[in-house]
Amino acid sequence: MKMRALVVSGKGKLKTIGEMLAKNGTYAADVIPPAYSCDRERLVVIIATLRSSMPDSFRRFCQELSKDKAQNVALIVDGSETDAKMVANWIATAGANVIDNILYFPVKGLFAGFSKALTPEETSKVNTWYESVLAALN
């Protein structure tokens, strides 16, 4: 399946999730804005640490995700539900289908930015979520 995992976060665990999911797709995990533009991707997974004030490049990228660039977009977020809905609204307004099942993945702690290893429970949580997203596409 033509899929991309795009990460906008400095947190190691979120980068690890991006790399893990990218193994299922055509491309490796990338950052936002990606090195190569999206072109008729079946699924784009955006993995982001969200704040109420996001970089302008991230906002523009989301607001340009039309059906020609991505048919479906799924979100994994470290942030509030309000911020996730704001991003989902940007994407939906651009024309891509936003998968309703948003995975909230809070990464907290003193060393949150450095720890890359996922626990077995976290890996299972991400894999279960990913399977449900794939089921929603069919």
Instruction: List the pLDDT tens digit at each of the 138 positions of the chain.
Output: 789 999 999 899 999 999 999 887 767 788 888 988 899 999 999 999 998 888 999 999 999 999 999 999 999 999 999 999 999 999 999 999 999 999 999 987 666 667 788 999 999 999 999 999 999 986
Q: pTM (2 decimals)?
A: 0.92
Q: What is the DSSP string of the chain?
A: --EEEEEE-S-HHHHHHHHHHHTTSSS--EESS-SS---SBSEEEEEEE--SS--HHHHHHHHT--TTTBSEEEEEEES-HHHHHHHHHHHHHHTPEEPS-PEE----STTTTT--PPPHHHHHHHHHHHHHHHHHH-
Task: State the pLDDT at residue 92.
Answer: 97
